[in-house]
Chain A
């Protein structure tokens, strides 16, 4: 299809979103990611039955934690995209890119930058 999507997005491949752990998401933010989204299969279509549903509840948990520490839970999202739906994948990538751009850099990225400058 050769569909373009923003080059700000780094893809980390996993066998199933059920493999996504809260620690992985937190680590991404700790390293300065401005936003993270988890792209799982459509609900009800998980090859491992509940992987994407587990990911969904973990994402909700981490969103609350990010709110609690002032990083902002809105920087994290869960999307369900069919594996064959390339156009939707590109659309979600653009959507998330725009959302994070509007939010601006994560306070953690700013802190890392300030530390390097000091």
Chain B
């Protein structure tokens, strides 16, 4: 899922300082699962914003909606008939949803309520960790299902660096060395010989470094 967290209240309040009526739009997908921008978080933020305005002697009318997904046209269309009545929209979707909303509704300012962080997993309740950087050329088949692109600070492709100590990374004593994990897992799988075969130099043009990416499936168009 895409993991995000709420922006500081001051920043959100700053976006809408001059507004009288806004729409708070949550998203029912990733940000609901990571408790950042689902229906409940929309309710909490609406209450907090109302109080922040009341305290200053101002009034803010807030309507709330939580769309199934803000990254798909058909769900964004659901608010077309009502959107003109608002001074601004605060979207609690990830950056993708905020942008798609802004692309759809050009006459109304759309502000992000969240900072979008990474693609990751729920390690335990309340703990999320990065697992994928969308590099466009998955090498998990060679690395025992553990990604050195997202989990090694240096994104190394052929074994650990000198900063790996007792299975931990030098940038953070809490952080597992991805290559230690890969080697341990290869051993468990009886595939340690795979470690000898070099992973060739990676073509980073399919990663973000190659510019914004796009997928076109002619069979689905």
Contact = CB atoms under 8 A, between A and B. Distances in A.
A23 B44 contact: yes
A7 interface: no
A91 B10 CA distance: 37
A22 B54 contact: no
A107 interface: yes
Contacts of B57: 111, 114
Interface residues of A, number: 18
Interface in A79-118: 107-108, 111-112, 114-115
Nearest to A70: B55
B48 interface: yes
Contact of A30 (B8, B10, B50): B50
B40 A26 contact: no
Contacts of A65: 9, 44, 48
B104 to A, nearest CB: 29
Interface string B39-64: 01001100111111011010000000
Nearest to B59: A115
A108 B9 contact: no
Nearest to A69: B52
A71 B40 CA distance: 21
Contacts, number: 46
How large, as a class, is the contact surface on chain B?
10 to 19
A7 B47 CA distance: 27
A57 B30 CA distance: 22
A107 B54 CA distance: 8
Contacts of B47: 23, 26-27, 29-30
Contacts of A114: 57
B54 A111 contact: yes
A30 B40 contact: no
Interface in B3-58: 8-10, 40, 43-44, 47-52, 54-55, 57
A108 B18 CA distance: 20
A48 B141 CA distance: 43
A111 B52 CA distance: 10
A45 interface: no
A71 B52 CA distance: 8
Nearest to A32: B54
B9 A21 contact: no
B44 A68 contact: no
Interface of A: 21-23, 26-27, 29-30, 65, 68-71, 107-108, 111-112, 114-115
23 contacts: A21-B40, A22-B44, A23-B43, A23-B44, A26-B43, A26-B44, A26-B47, A26-B48, A26-B51, A27-B47, A30-B47, A30-B50, A30-B51, A65-B9, A68-B9, A68-B48, A69-B48, A69-B49, A69-B51, A69-B55, A71-B55, A108-B51, A108-B54
Given A22-B40, A108-B51, 17 more contacts: A22-B44, A23-B40, A26-B47, A26-B48, A27-B47, A29-B51, A30-B47, A65-B44, A68-B8, A68-B48, A69-B9, A69-B51, A107-B55, A108-B54, A111-B54, A112-B54, A114-B57
